[in-house]
Chain A
Amino acid sequence: MIDLFVWEWEWQLPLIATLAIAELGFIAVWARRTSSGVGERRSWPALALFTAGLLVFALAVMSPIGANDERLLSSHMIEHDLLMWVAAPLLALGSLALVADGRRLPAALRRSIAFLARPIVAFTISTVLLWAWHAPPAYGLALISLPVHGVEHLSFIVAYIIYWWPLIATPSMLGGLQSSAGRAGYLLAGAMQSGLLGALLTFATSLWYPHYALVPGATVASALADQRLAGAIMWYPGAIVFALAAALTLRAPATEPLAIAG
């Protein structure tokens, strides 16, 4: 199975251009916001986080990991892991400073963020997109069409920026989850739904994506072994990511000095 892995980079000009535009756009907004005063400091970490997020995105798609995604399902799942669990939270963290003060955003944008950042909405979007793109017909389409594949990756990024938002935003911001109970429940729900998909893939006894058995040099048996590995790659690191996210996002609540009555 490992023989199918080819050490090559896959430079994609449209993607590079899109990421460059995103970075420049971010810098423009960032510079205006942070230099316009109103007590805001120039947030270099925000810029660094956002840039790191875009770099991970680029690496996931264009490095040998992404370049092998049509040959090996396991490589494809590493790519998805990087998009959902590394790039998306970095991008969300970077953008945080820009929308920290919701009052300064245009009303329509504020309303959209507030809607998307509702935990139930964010969870539903991320879950539906993750499962829908792993359904064999949609996945098969992404494998044969580069634009569809691009849309798939972009939608993972967007869906998971939306997923991480309620955890990353502080309660005072748009959409921040207020309570530790809510955060813990939300994290567990996210871990369980992606874990279940990983488990189904790990334990499947038939090929979900026959394409991988048709790759020159592959067999049905090797593709099945690769599929098992791919499921584990979605499942196990996901659990670690969610456990780490719990450590980072479950904050100590402000102490509650309850007044003495009576």
Chain B
Amino acid sequence: MTAAERPVSTALLAPDRSNGAALRASMAYMVAGLGTVLLMGLLGLLMRLDQAGMLVISPAWFYRVMTLHGSGMIAAVLLAALGGIAAAVSATTPLSARALWIALVVYMTGNGFVIFATLVGGFGGGWTVLYPLPEHGIVWTLQAALAIYAGYFFVALGLLLFCVHILFAMRRAHGSLAKALAWRFLFSLGRDKRDALPRPVELIAVVIAIDGIAAAGAGLIYLVPLFAQASGAITTVDALFAKNFVLLFGHTIANLSIYITAGLVYAALPAYTGRAWPTSWPVAAAWNLIIPLMLLNYSHHLYADFAQPVGLQLLGEIGSYAVALPSFIVTIIGALALIYRSGIRWTVAPILFALGLWGWVFGGLGALLDATIPVNQVMHNTLWVPAHFHTYFVLGALAFALAYLWSILDALSGSSERRGTRAAAWLYGIGGAGFILMFFVSGANSVPRRFAVHLPEWQVYARIAVPFVLLLALSLAWLSWDLSTRFGSAWRATRRPVVGP
């Protein structure tokens, strides 16, 4: 029997084997997301080379590149994460491939706007598009600002379509959202088990769909007055209102990637450790808590805004601390308990999952420090901030997303793993850690973030970072090449017979 004829045996396929189409759509999300990450990573390398003084680009181009890298990466990692969660959920909850494809086209249309607004229109106001800066560019025009807003509009719309579909699908599959969130079980402190409990990844899908809808809604609320102002219908927009909403949008979608990809750990790790990860009471409580907490913690980005009501600042601080409890304690401890003495084989996916857990912890600690008001006053505009979010993106969310795609392609294609690729997975950790460490060290030494030109005394950090970035690039290229060799047969396998129940 050739590899192409081999039946697929995997937990990915629905009992009635009808989720092949949804799986293919999900795989397209992941591949589009990770492909974009590779391109945006090259822009990251370009910026670090510039900051090291090893390759000089003009400040105008630096800021275009920085904006495209930031928004492109955020959108790309989120896309890969959405694909992962759709694939994981589709095995037990029927999803509409049509809805997934439509959301993908809308989302990617938004990315097109961002690419053209930055590379052609010269927009360089940062991925946060913080009002009123986009409308007062010296090197870009109002049209470029409007184009980036339009891009965010389509991305938010694509996200909204995806999340609404997930919510409806979950409600249909479980009877109600309360059941999909395991509320009876949760509020009876785990005693009432009459409702069939959702799998952790299903519960997480509902949580992120709710927060995704809130984030997309905030994005749309932010954009409407800005378009109205550009058209002359209104003259000013309240800057504090705008800042709250754009951060509620941007910070939450950045957080979504991190939490969604954590959901992928719940979905895939049990297959490698041979131990089940059921929906226990702590899991149900933790993820239900994340619904409000994820929407609160954005306001740690507003500590420097004296006009922000103090109550909201405190809420932001409490939210930022509190979110660590459910996510770290439950997910990290749960995952470590699953791995501990399980006899796990350290193949590519488990290596990447483990790196992701590591990155989550360290990135989270960096974030906690930054969320502490006195520390924030000193650190917030230094490279400490990119350091913490690169940690849980590069070593957390991206590692999880890669690991999950790897596990899917592995299971579907059935091809055996190359030994060299494991080395690439470890290299990913080493390259990523070195690169990020230099961001932390720069931040601790008060090197400002978003500076196109670094003073000679700062350049040493970037110079040390560059070889690590190259290592990271090498490992990503290697992993991607290996993934690409499995992709075709995995794609075809979604149309093939499956074995067993």
Contacts and interface: CB of A to CB of B under 8 A. Distances in A.
Interface string B93-131: 000111001101110110011001100111000000000
A203 interface: yes
Interface in A237-252: 239, 242-243, 246-247, 250-252
B165 interface: no
A257 B16 contact: yes
A184 B120 contact: no
Given A180-B21, A243-B105, A258 B144 contact: no
A200 B18 CA distance: 44
Nearest 7 pairs between A and B by C-beta? A199-B116, A261-B497, A246-B105, A258-B17, A261-B7, A252-B98, A203-B121
Interface in B139-174: 141, 143-144, 146-147, 150, 154, 157
Given A195-B109, A251-B98, A252-B96, 17 more contacts: A180-B25, A181-B28, A184-B104, A187-B105, A192-B112, A195-B116, A199-B121, A202-B147, A203-B141, A232-B143, A235-B116, A235-B147, A239-B109, A239-B112, A239-B150, A258-B496, A259-B497
A180 B104 CA distance: 11
B24 interface: yes
A183 interface: yes
Nearest to A248: B102
B120 A203 contact: yes
Contact of A195 (B97, B102, B113): B113
Interface residues of B, number: 41
23 contacts: A180-B24, A180-B101, A181-B28, A184-B105, A188-B109, A188-B112, A195-B116, A199-B117, A199-B120, A203-B120, A203-B143, A235-B147, A239-B154, A243-B106, A246-B101, A246-B105, A246-B106, A250-B101, A258-B495, A260-B499, A260-B500, A261-B7, A262-B499
Contact of B102 (A228, A246, A259): A246
Contacts of A100: none
Nearest to B9: A262
Nearest to B6: A261
Contacts of A199: 116-117, 120-121, 147
Q: Which of A196, A250, A258 has the most CB of B within 10 A?
A: A258
A191 interface: yes
Contact of A203 (B28, B104, B122): B122
A169 B141 CA distance: 42
Interface in A167-212: 179-181, 183-184, 187-188, 191-192, 195-196, 199-200, 202-203
Interface of B: 7, 13, 16-18, 20-21, 24-25, 28, 96-98, 101-102, 104-106, 108-109, 112-113, 116-117, 120-122, 141, 143-144, 146-147, 150, 154, 157, 495-500
A30 B146 CA distance: 46
Nearest to A252: B98
A242 B101 CA distance: 13
Contacts of A181: 24-25, 28, 101
A190 to B, nearest CB: 11
A251 B102 CA distance: 10
Contacts of A231: 143
Nearest to B121: A203
Interface residues of A, number: 37
A238 to B, nearest CB: 9
B17 A256 contact: yes
A257 B105 contact: no
A216 interface: no
Nearest to B21: A253
A92 B258 CA distance: 45
Interface string A109-135: 000000000000000000000000000
A252 B154 CA distance: 22
A236 interface: yes
A145 interface: no
Nearest to B17: A258
A204 B122 CA distance: 11
A180 B98 CA distance: 8
B112 A191 contact: yes
Contact of A184 (B17, B96, B101, B497): B101
